[in-house]
Amino acid sequence: MSSEVKARHPMTAGFDFEVAGRSGDARAALLTTPRGQVATPAFMPVGTQGTVKGMTPDQLKAVGTQIVLSNTYHLAVRPGVDTVRTLGGLHTLMGWEGPILTDSGGFQVFSLGHRNRISEQGVEFRNHVDGSPLLLTPESVLDIQARLGSTIAMILDECPAGGVSKDEVARAVVRTHRWALRAHEHRQRLELFEPMAVFGIMQGGTFEDLRRESAQQLLEIPFDAYAVGGVSVGEGREALLSTIGLSAPMLPFDRPRYLMGVGGLEEFIIAVDRGIDLFDCVIPTRNARNASLFLSDGGSLNMKNARHKQDSGPIEEGCDCLACTQYSRGTLHHLYQRKEILAYTLGSIHNLRVFHRFLENARKAILEGTWDAFRDQFLAALSSRSG
């Protein structure tokens, strides 16, 4: 334990993180927030624009959701921060009482690169709705997240695309650090509508030395926790998994470690094994809208396939979600073929339940000392199927 990195400062009042059990680097922990507790490892469904598509808050709770994610950039564009504030804040807007983490808009630096211009001041967007200008700075993104009423805010970072030169990634690391210092300084002046933790973000691309440099710089700034950013941005699958493995141990073991924008059962196994606690991505709901439903062994089904037309069995035997306990594959096939909205809701319920249940079982395995067997059994089955 003494050789592991520890945070050098307390968390914001009302927030706490306690590791309840470990197996190697994998750990089961409890993140406490003023909006409730999150048992980790945990997945955060993405509600980019103030809603997890096709899902009500009660449905989210029923599938095991503890915390959700929304997005600063998109909410600032529509409906606008003033509107969210007038409507009572983001929790009221979403009808969700639990913790909400808001992404700063840093990912949009990558995904909307053709619409933005990066400078030392920040990122100037021509927004994707009407082309009007929007300037995000390290200071303004915290102001926006505070006014939204976020439980956990992310700092603004520069997220370079996979495959760019090492020099470009190094420049992004330096700028991200300078922005982080500005964010921390501005944090002291924030008007808060409720307690808000702030997470720093590690950059560095696929380069281990840049990752280490970024982590060391972040640890000098008293953020509440730390995220691995700049992954799943086109770097290729092997590089993605390798970067996850080398990045996680560089961050404090006594604080949450959040892997941004990555989801999938194999990715969960690799990342949890290295000590990651929190995940998010749009895959469960996006795939559900495209009739791709996940299985707990890492496989998937295309519910539009004709072979499901008269199948009276559930999507997956043993799954306890609403879609599996009350509907058949044949029904889902019919709903998808007819483009019924219910299909997208039931598919999202199932996919999110698969993700949540997988991480619940991972947590249980860590606590019971059977993590190695859980990990190896899943990876062996995955390899057997793909082989």
User: 292 exposed, middle or buried (CB, 10 Å; 0-12, 13-18, 19+)?
Assistant: middle
Q: Which of 201, 250, 254, 247 is nearest to 226 (CA)?
A: 201
DSSP codes, 110-126: HHTGGGEEE-SS-EEEE
Query: Measured on CA atoms in the order 49, 294, 40, 253, is the torsion positive or negative?
Result: negative
C-alpha to C-alpha distance for 18 and 30, rounded to whole angstroms: 5
Q: Which of 62, 57, 53 is nearest to 324 (CA)?
A: 62
Q: Tell me whether residue 209 is one of the annotated catalytic residues.
A: no
C-alpha to C-alpha distance for 323 and 308, rounded to whole angstroms: 15
Dihedral of the CA atoms 201, 266, 302, 324 (nearest 10)?
-100
Q: In what order do the strands lie in the sheet with 133-136?
A: 116-118, 123-126, 133-136
How far, rounded to the nearest angstrom, does the alpha carbon of residue 321 sit from its chain's CA centroid?
22
Preceding peptide of 41 cis, ω within 30°: yes
Length of the chain (residues): 387
C-alpha to C-alpha distance for 355 and 364, rounded to whole angstroms: 14
Selecting among 157, 273, 277, 280, the annotated active-site residue is: 280
C-alpha to C-alpha distance for 268 and 17, rounded to whole angstroms: 20
Selecting among 16, 58, 103, 376, the annotated active-site residue is: 103
How far apart, in Å, are the Cα atoms of 121 and each of 139, 175, 193, 211?
Answer: 10, 10, 26, 23
Q: DSSP code of 386?
A: H
How many alpha carbons lie under 13 Å from residue 333 in its C-beta half-sphere?
17
Q: DSSP code of 262?
A: B
Dihedral of the CA atoms 103, 109, 114, 120 (nearest 10)?
140
As annotated, the active-site residues are: 103, 280
